[in-house]
Amino acid sequence: MQVLKFLPLFFLSSLFAACNSGSDTSQTNGTAAGNTAAASPSDKKELTFMLADQTVSKGDTVYIEVTVRDFTNILSMQYSFNWNPNVLKFIKLDKLNLKDLTINNFGLNRTEQGKIGTSWFDLAVKGISLPDGTPIYRVCFLAVGDPGSKDQVFFSSEPVVIEISNSAEQLLNLAFKRATITIQ
């Protein structure tokens, strides 16, 4: 089985800190430009990661669930989660709801810059399937922006490049639904 070629994805979780440590760029290879963004070639269904818009008051705790659609036989994934730290202050990750997903799969050393890297691998090397709408984890923030401010919370390739594969060792088409968080 050629699954071994995906093992580097699993080990990326220990290398996040080194990824782009010498540069701080806001370019995200197109994933921040609209509500959805395609990445990687394939004729397979789009795996979709979704976030919900919210309106909150300054000082509120904001809970953003990362939910999935068409999460079928997923073997590995890596990507970044981004926001404006002047509007939302990272508190924690919780409600981890994916086999083999632990806090160690997240690079949390750049949260003050509004960036979390993620790298996950199915340790059974079989691929995981989840029903549409399943939340796989939750990101908790404190709303610190002034009333009237808004923030786009989105997925990108900064600091960790987007790549998701299934058990057939195919890179998948991806779509990402960003969220707008409005401070009232």
Summarize pLDDT for 28-58 with one digit per residue, the tens.
333 333 333 333 444 556 899 999 999 999 9
Check residue 4 and give its pLDDT.
41
Q: What is the pTM of this model?
A: 0.77
Residues 6 or more apart whose CB falls under 8 angstroms from that of 139 comprise 63, 64, 66, 81, 90, 93, 116, 153
CA distances from 8 to 43, 71, 120, 163 (A): 24, 21, 11, 12
Q: Average pLDDT for residues 122-128, to the nearest whole number?
A: 96
Q: What is the CATH number of domain 2-17+44-183?
A: 2.60.40.680
The H or E element containing residue 8 is helix 7-11
Specify which of 1-5, 144-148, 166-170 reaches the highest per-range mean pLDDT: 144-148
Q: Average pLDDT for residues 73-84, to the nearest whole number?
A: 97
CA 67 – CA 174 distance, rounded (Å): 13
Using the predicted structure, report yes or no on whether residue 98 has a pLDDT greater than 50: yes
Check residue 173 and give its pLDDT.
85
Check residue 163 and give its pLDDT.
95
What secondary structure, in 3-state letters, does 95-153 show? CCCCCCCCHHHEECCCHHHCEEEEEEECCCCCCECCCCCEEEEEEEEEECCCCCCEEEE
Check residue 44 and give its pLDDT.
52
